A and B are shown apart, each in its own frame.
Chain A
Amino acid sequence: MIFELDVLILLLLIPAAVMALQIRDLLAASMAFGIYSFLMCLLWAEMGAVDVAFTEAAVGAGVSAVFLIATVYCTKRKSSD
Chain B
Amino acid sequence: MMKKLAGIVVFMVGLLLFYGVSNVDDFPGWGDPDSPANASPLSQYFITDTIKDSEVPNMVTAVLADYRGYDTMFETVVIFIAGIAIFAVVRVSRNNSPVCGGNKDDEPDLIITTTCRLLVPVIQIFALYVLAHGHSSPGGGFQGGVIMGASFILVAVAWDLDTALGRFSEKAAIACAGLGIIIYAGFGLASMFYGEEFLNYGITHKLLPGVESPEMARYYGMLGVEVGVMFTVTSVMFLIYGLLSTRGRMSGGL
Q: A interface vs B, CB < 8 Å?
A: 1, 47-48, 50-51, 53-55, 58-59, 62-63, 66-67, 70-71, 73-74
Contacts and interface: CB of A to CB of B under 8 A. Distances in A.
A16 B208 CA distance: 50
A70 B244 contact: yes
Given A50-B138, A74-B244, A63 B100 contact: no
A67 B240 contact: yes
Interface stretch (B16-24, B145-153, B220-228): B145-153
A41 B245 CA distance: 26
B146 A62 contact: yes
Contacts of B61: 51
A55 B142 contact: yes
A71 B138 CA distance: 31
Contacts of A48: 31
Interface of B: 30-31, 58, 60-61, 100-101, 130, 138-140, 142-143, 146-147, 149-150, 153, 157, 237, 240-241, 244-247, 253-254
Contacts of A50: 138
Contacts of A70: 241, 244-245, 254
Contacts of B138: 50-51, 53-54
A6 to B, nearest CB: 9
B28 to A, nearest CB: 14
Contacts of B147: 58, 62
Contacts of A62: 146-147, 150
B57 to A, nearest CB: 13
Given A1-B30, A73-B101, A58 B143 contact: yes
A66 B150 contact: yes
Nearest to A58: B146
Given A62-B150, A73-B254, A54 B241 contact: no
Contacts of A73: 100-101, 245, 253-254
Nearest to B154: A66
Contacts of B247: 74
A55 B145 CA distance: 10
B101 A63 contact: no
Contacts of A74: 100-101, 244-247, 253
B236 to A, nearest CB: 10
Q: Ordered nearest first, which 7 A-B pairs have the shortest CB separation?
A: A70-B245, A74-B100, A58-B146, A50-B138, A51-B60, A51-B138, A70-B244
Nearest to A47: B30
